[in-house]
Homo-oligomer: A and B are copies of this chain.
Amino acid sequence: MSPSSLQEEIGKKNPFDLPEEEAYLNLMRTSSILAAEFGALFRSKGLSESSYNVLRILRGAGETGKPSQQIARDMVVQLPDITRLVDRLETKGLVARARSTTDRRVVQVRITEQGIGLLEELDNPVRALHRKQLGHMGADRLAALSDLLSEARQPAEDLQVRG
């Protein structure tokens, strides 16, 4: 039998005192387990989850690319220090940098052909892993999960944005 509850899984003796805590720990455990599988997939191609995310953002941005700061804002998992992440991608030839001519503070980053090629190698495995991980839930439950997660993070996000 699978462990039926998080309480059992992590060997916790007492029931949770707060439903908020239980939900929080369920959230952390689930995200870490699922992220670990994607991490392994990305590492097999020399990428981290963050650097894969950056490449996906830049593929969506097209020829002109995006300023570093905007990349940081668009990332699913926020990260300070986008500079060195782009450094590593540049060293591997997956992205290219160029100073903006209009505002010389900003650095425009764009994906290279090589970067696009690497992403394309990953497209099918990524889709397959998504289905393997969550395909057992129906579309209705997935939608419900997405909704609850949006609701859960909304106050914290408001503070971040408007802070």
Interface size on A, residues (CB 8 A): 69
Which residues of chain B have C-beta atoms less than 8 A from A139's C-beta? Answer: 19
| CB-CB under 8 A for A20 and B133, given A30-B149, A33-B160, A153-B30 | yes
| CB-CB under 8 A for A76 and B145, given A34-B153, A131-B18, A153-B34 | no
Q: Max chain B CB contacts within 10 Å: which of A9, A12, A19, A135?
A: A19
- List which A36-71 residues lie within 8 A (CB) of chain B: 36-37, 57, 60, 70
In the complex, A151 has a CB within 8 A of chain B: yes
- List which A66-97 residues lie within 8 A (CB) of chain B: 70, 73-78
Which chain A residues have a beta carbon within 8 Å of chain B's beta carbons? 2-3, 5-6, 9-14, 17-37, 57, 60, 70, 73-78, 127, 130-137, 139, 141-146, 148-158, 160-161
